Amino acid sequence: MKCGLFYLLFLTVLTIGCTSSVEESNRVPLALVGDNTLYLDEAIRNIPGFLLENDSLKSVQQFRDNWIRDQVLFDEALRLGLDNHESVQEKLKKSNRDILVSSMRDQILLNSTSTFEISNAEVSTFYEANRNQFVLQNRHVRVRHLFSETNEEAEAARNSLINGASWQQIVQDFAIDKMYSMSTDNELISEVDALNGYPTMKSYLQVVGLMEVSPIYKEDEYYHFIQIVEDRPPGDHPDLSMVFDQIKNWLQMDKSRKSIQAYEQNLYLQAEANNEIVIY
């Protein structure tokens, strides 16, 4: 059964990936309770992606089992007539109303998507107008970090750096993880997040001065050193590049909120003009 389900799951994922929908005749049933059928493509659409990536077969089986239990309870509730109880009707009415209101707001946003584009100029203007509101809460550093296979290689890399060689060339010649070492030269990050996983190197952040090169230290199986190339104290203002995405997202959210509010206000005024609103 497990092998068969795994094979069907594989085929269904391929089918969903290649087409926008699954033909009714090609749908793979997972379970049947009364007159209701659960199909594999339906399960896949309702399972969070990270669960499918972690263990797709187990995720589908768990979803199927939960669906069966819920469906059995649902059918029993209908048999007992719970759906006709006044308290249940009120909950269903409220749930239906909330879903429709939420869907209407989604539709407003969908129809207005083109108006939510935020230009680089808008972000820059907002940053300049509110620069004093952007303050670093803790120390931020841009710290180069390189580790080599041997102490001799690390010494050669360190000496080259002290003598003025380019970081790019040093990384190319001596670094084990070249992509990582190059990225450290471009990233200004909180001291709290810097060099996590390298406790000795992290401790050097407290003793190494700006542009100084730390001693070499063997940590794990490699030989490490760091160089602080930028140091921002708490209370300093971050560069625009550090907060660009944050500002852009906020401006998009603000435009979305204002769009919904404007649409709702227009509907309210129309209903008021048509005498559809009575306030007691």
Q: Which of 232, 252, 268 is the last residue of a domain?
A: 232
140 and 99 both lie in a single domain: no
Q: Is the pLDDT of residue 261 over 60?
A: yes
Q: What is the mean pLDDT of the segment spanning 95-108?
A: 92
Query: What is the rounded CA–CA span in Å between residue 123 and residue 244?
Result: 7
99 and 6 both lie in a single domain: yes
- What does DSSP assign to residue 185? T
35 and 86 both lie in a single domain: yes
> 172-189: b or e for each residue (b if 16 or more CB lie within 10 Å)?
eebbeeeeebbebbeebe
Sign of the CA dihedral 25, 27, 28, 32? negative
Query: What is the rounded CA–CA span in Å between residue 271 and residue 254?
Result: 26
Comparison of pLDDT for 20 and 251, the residue scoring more: 251
What does the pLDDT read at residue 205?
Answer: 95
Q: Where are the alpha helices (DSSP H) in the chain?
A: 2-18, 40-46, 49-79, 86-111, 120-129, 151-162, 167-174, 178-184, 199-203, 240-273
What does the pLDDT read at residue 24?
Answer: 59
CATH number of the structural domain spanning residue 208:
3.10.50.40
Comparison of pLDDT for 9 and 40, the residue scoring more: 40
Number of Cβ atoms within 10 Å of the Cβ of 54: 10
Q: Is the pLDDT of residue 25 over 90?
A: no
pLDDT over 90, % of the chain: 68
State the total domains in the chain: 2
Q: What is the mean pLDDT of the segment spanning 266-280?
A: 92
Q: What is the mean pLDDT of the segment spanning 199-211?
A: 94
- Domain of 192, in residue numbers: 136-232
Residues 148 and 219 sit within 8 Å (Cβ to Cβ): no
Query: What is the rounded CA–CA span in Å between residue 40 and residue 240?
Result: 47
Q: Is the pLDDT of residue 4 over 70?
A: no
91 and 147 both lie in a single domain: no
pLDDT digits (tens, 9 = 90+) for 146-161: 999 999 999 999 999 9
Q: What is the mean pLDDT of the segment spanning 14-40?
A: 73
Query: What is the rounded CA–CA span in Å between residue 182 and residue 58?
Result: 40
What residues are paired with 213 via a beta bridge?
A: 227
Q: What is the mean pLDDT of the segment spanning 73-97?
A: 95
pLDDT digits (tens, 9 = 90+) for 166-182: 999 999 999 999 999 99
Which residues, other chains included, contact 194 with Cβ-Cβ below 8 Å and sequence gap of 6+?
141, 143, 202, 205
Q: Considering only 63-72, 103-112, 167-176, which range has the smallest mean pLDDT?
A: 103-112
Comparison of pLDDT for 23 and 213, the residue scoring more: 213
Q: Is the pLDDT of residue 17 over 90?
A: no
Query: What is the rounded CA–CA span in Å between residue 93 and residue 103?
Result: 15
56 and 146 both lie in a single domain: no
Report if residue 175 sits inside a domain.
yes
Report if residue 247 sits inside a domain.
no
Whether the pTM exceeds 0.95: the reply is: no
Smallest CA-to-CA distance from 144 within 184, 203, 172 is with 184
Residues 223 and 154 sit within 8 Å (Cβ to Cβ): yes
217 and 170 both lie in a single domain: yes
pLDDT digits (tens, 9 = 90+) for 219-252: 989 999 999 999 999 999 988 988 898 999 999 8
CA distances from 76 to 34, 178, 233, 276 (A): 11, 62, 64, 41
Q: Is the pLDDT of residue 20 over 50?
A: no
184 and 227 both lie in a single domain: yes
> 252-267: b or e for each residue (b if 16 or more CB lie within 10 Å)?
eeebbeebbeebeeee
What does the pLDDT read at residue 23?
Answer: 58
